[in-house]
Amino acid sequence: MKSPITKRSTSVAGHKTNISLEDAFLTALRDIAQGRDMTVSAIVADVDLHRQHVNLSSAIRLFEFEHAQMRAAARAKSARKLAN
């Protein structure tokens, strides 16, 4: 049975590291990077710089969760403005 987690090699602060993420998180990470006109490595390096007490893969999942929450809040705010 194929593991739902994929390992990806990337460069962070000049050194190679592996991240282990489910395909859905890898796809979301690529989408976020593209939307910000950044590379996946640049996003991962930024997450790595700001993470606190969690491993890098977990920090990426939390980053994506927070990103999704901010987008949902922005959509809700826009919908409220349109309704008024």
Considering the entire predicted model, what is its pTM?
A: 0.85
CA angle 15, 16, 19 (to 5 degrees): 130
For residues 61 and 83, the model is more confident at 61
Domain harbouring 58, CATH code = 1.10.3990.20
Count of domains forming the chain? 1
Instruction: List, for residues 7-63, the tens digit of each pLDDT value.
Output: 989 888 888 999 999 999 999 999 999 999 999 999 999 999 999 888 999 999 999
Tokens read off for 16: 């190679």
When pLDDT is cut at 50, 70 and 90, the band that residue 1 belongs to is low
Phi, psi of 55 (to 5 degrees): -70, 165
Range of the domain at 20: 5-83
Of 78 and 67, the structure prediction assigns the larger pLDDT to 67
